[in-house]
């Protein structure tokens, strides 16, 4: 395809070492030697933890629903303009709309620490589509002279027909998380939350087995004398077949001095609920999400929706939104007088009474017009609504009449 003619193989470029963060479908080692001990924490596994799924889906969905616009600086004020990029943002590619595209972008960064968007150009070099690539299918390369390239695996959706094709950095928008190990390698929040997520998954697995056995712990069958391994295996298999799972509760008749003793710690003794709550809160800490936002902690310490939304936005969302805006500005080569903006007002919407009070104050102060307020509320303009209104008694001190009366002695 003509718009992917830049793809080529670069023999002189070397991949960033995997010990700088890696480009594989596993999180960076949670402790030294974890990989050798088969303790690698896979993204697909930790997504089974409800807190990880809730944090990742909440943030990605919230960013996906934000409207995006192109603004230009006119007379010192950033003003939205009609631009050809609006069409690209509305439908970034043939299989995703705006919400799906920015949601996938954010999700890739949250789960893998890196998000890669491949630019698709027409014959004139104009960017006509953007594709979010699988982060596990991209390898960063650095040439001897410091130039950055990206090695890509085959992708039918993105139009990459050749396995191992290499794209120069100008054709990739690379949004990465924090980079503690290498400036080109982002790190996922799951690096910090991986153990907590796996603990939660293991607790849920054990709970499932526990309740399959009628909410009763396991135990040990003991005999008064020595028995052979064959006899022990037979007794164990016979016991599990007849008295566990769906057969729990049946009456067991033990002979030859056999006895059963419960050994496994019960759900109450192991503080199951408290442990699960801790794992959820630990995951929230890594994602910078207030625990109450996903129902994993006490109620929010705020009295208004605005305060709650602002807390969530400033801690968990704002840095992701600004990173997307900057990546788009640089990746699409916008001049210094133009920029892309995601409209965060959808997340910071106040309650009705507070919103109307703020609108009235802004109109009375002459900061905004009536039609600007109506537009924010989804209402059509009215005649005379583009005028700035101020009360007549408000006058600058320089126009106040001088007091010429003499002060009596």
Q: Which pLDDT tens digit goes with each residue over 187-231?
A: 999 988 888 888 888 877 776 665 555 445 456 666 676 667 777
Q: Is residue 225 domain-shared with residue 274, that is, in the same domain?
A: no
Domain end marker among 200, 229, 263: 263
Query: Residue 196 belongs to what domain range?
Result: 1-215+264-349
Asked whether the predicted pLDDT for residue 182 surpasses 70, the reply is yes
Confirm whether 60 is domain-assigned: yes
Of residues 355 and 351, the one with the higher pLDDT is 355
Confirm whether 404 is domain-assigned: no
Position 357 scores a pLDDT of 78
Strand partners, 166: 8, 151
Asked whether the predicted pLDDT for residue 276 surpasses 50, the reply is yes
Q: Is residue 308 domain-shared with residue 327, that is, in the same domain?
A: yes
Q: Is residue 289 domain-shared with residue 385, that is, in the same domain?
A: no
Q: Is residue 222 domain-shared with residue 211, that is, in the same domain?
A: no
Of residues 17 and 227, the one with the higher pLDDT is 227
Confirm whether 257 is domain-assigned: yes
Confirm whether 400 is domain-assigned: no
Q: Is residue 225 domain-shared with residue 318, that is, in the same domain?
A: no
Q: Is residue 63 domain-shared with residue 171, that is, in the same domain?
A: yes
Q: Is residue 343 domain-shared with residue 355, that is, in the same domain?
A: no
Domain end marker among 247, 263, 279: 263
Position 311 scores a pLDDT of 87
* Residue 210 to residues 252, 265, 268, 272, Cα–Cα distance (Å): 19, 11, 12, 12
- Structurally, the chain folds into a number of domains equal to 3
In this structure, the number of other CB atoms found within 10 A of the CB of residue 130 comes to 21
Q: Is residue 182 domain-shared with residue 290, that is, in the same domain?
A: yes
Confirm whether 163 is domain-assigned: yes
Q: Is residue 254 domain-shared with residue 293, that is, in the same domain?
A: no
Q: Is residue 301 domain-shared with residue 391, that is, in the same domain?
A: no
Q: Which pLDDT tens digit goes with each residue over 108-141?
A: 999 999 999 999 999 999 999 999 999 999 999 9
Confirm whether 26 is domain-assigned: yes
Asked whether the predicted pLDDT for residue 86 surpasses 50, the reply is yes
Position 306 scores a pLDDT of 75
**pTM of this prediction?**
0.73
Q: Which pLDDT tens digit goes with each residue over 153-177?
A: 988 888 888 888 899 999 999 999 9
Q: Is residue 152 domain-shared with residue 239, that is, in the same domain?
A: no
Instruction: Report the half-sphere exposure of 341 (CA within 13 A, side-chain side).
Output: 16
Confirm whether 409 is domain-assigned: no
| CB within 8 Å of 111: residues ≥ 6 apart | 43, 47, 56, 188, 190
Position 7 scores a pLDDT of 54
**CB contact at 8 A, 265 and 275:** no
Domain end marker among 295, 320, 349: 349
Position 28 scores a pLDDT of 47
Q: Is residue 253 domain-shared with residue 300, that is, in the same domain?
A: no
Confidence tier at 32 by pLDDT (50, 70, 90): very low
Instruction: Report the half-sphere exposure of 214 (CA within 13 A, side-chain side).
Output: 11
Position 13 scores a pLDDT of 67
Of residues 254 and 95, the one with the higher pLDDT is 95
The overall average pLDDT reported for the chain is 79
- β-strands 148-152, 138-142: how paired? antiparallel
């Amino acid at each position: 395809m003509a718009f992917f003619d830049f793809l080529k193989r670069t023999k002189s470029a070397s991949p960033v070492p995997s010990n700088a963060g890696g480009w594989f479908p596993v999180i960076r080692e949670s402790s030294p030697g974890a990989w050798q001990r088969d303790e690698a924490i896979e993204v697909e596994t930790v997504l089974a933890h409800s807190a990880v799924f809730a944090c990742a889906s909440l943030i990605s969905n919230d960013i996906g629903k934000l409207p995006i616009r192109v603004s230009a600086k006119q007379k010192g004020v950033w003003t939205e303009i009609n631009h050809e990029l609006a069409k690209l943002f509305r439908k970034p590619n043939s299989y995703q709309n705006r919400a799906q595209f920015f949601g996938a972008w954010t999700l890739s960064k949250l789960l893998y620490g890196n998000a890669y968007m491949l630019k698709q150009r027409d014959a004139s070099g104009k960017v006509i589509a953007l594709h979010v690539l699988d982060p596990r299918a991209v390898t960063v390369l650095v040439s001897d002279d410091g130039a950055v390239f990206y090695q890509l695996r085959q992708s039918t959706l993105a139009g990459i027909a050749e396995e191992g094709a290499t794209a120069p950095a100008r054709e990739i928008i690379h949004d990465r998380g924090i980079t503690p190990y290498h400036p080109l390698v982002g790190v996922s929040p799951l690096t910090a939350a991986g153990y907590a997520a796996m603990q939660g998954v293991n607790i849920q697995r054990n709970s499932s087995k526990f309740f399959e056995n009628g909410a009763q712990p396991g135990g040990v069958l003991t005999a008064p004398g020595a028995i052979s391994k064959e006899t022990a295996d037979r007794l164990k298999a016979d016991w599990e077949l007849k008295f566990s799972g769906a057969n729990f509760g049946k009456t067991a008749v033990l002979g030859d001095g056999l006895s059963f003793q419960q050994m496994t710690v019960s759900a109450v003794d192991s503080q199951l609920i408290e442990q699960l709550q801790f794992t959820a809160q630990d995951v929230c800490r890594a994602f910078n999400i207030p625990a109450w936002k996903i129902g994993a902690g006490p109620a929010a310490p705020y009295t208004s929706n605005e305060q709650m939304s602002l807390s969530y936005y400033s801690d968990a969302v704002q840095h992701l939104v600004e990173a997307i805006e900057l990546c788009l500005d640089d990746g699409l080569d916008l001049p210094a007088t133009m920029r892309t903006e995601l409209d965060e007002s959808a997340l910071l919407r106040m309650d009705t009474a507070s919103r109307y009070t703020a609108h009235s104050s802004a109109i009375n102060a002459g900061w905004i017009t009536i039609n600007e307020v109506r537009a924010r509320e989804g209402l059509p303009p009215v005649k005379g609504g583009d005028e700035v209104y101020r009360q007549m008694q408000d006058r600058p001190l320089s126009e106040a009449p001088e007091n010429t009366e003499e002060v009596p002695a």
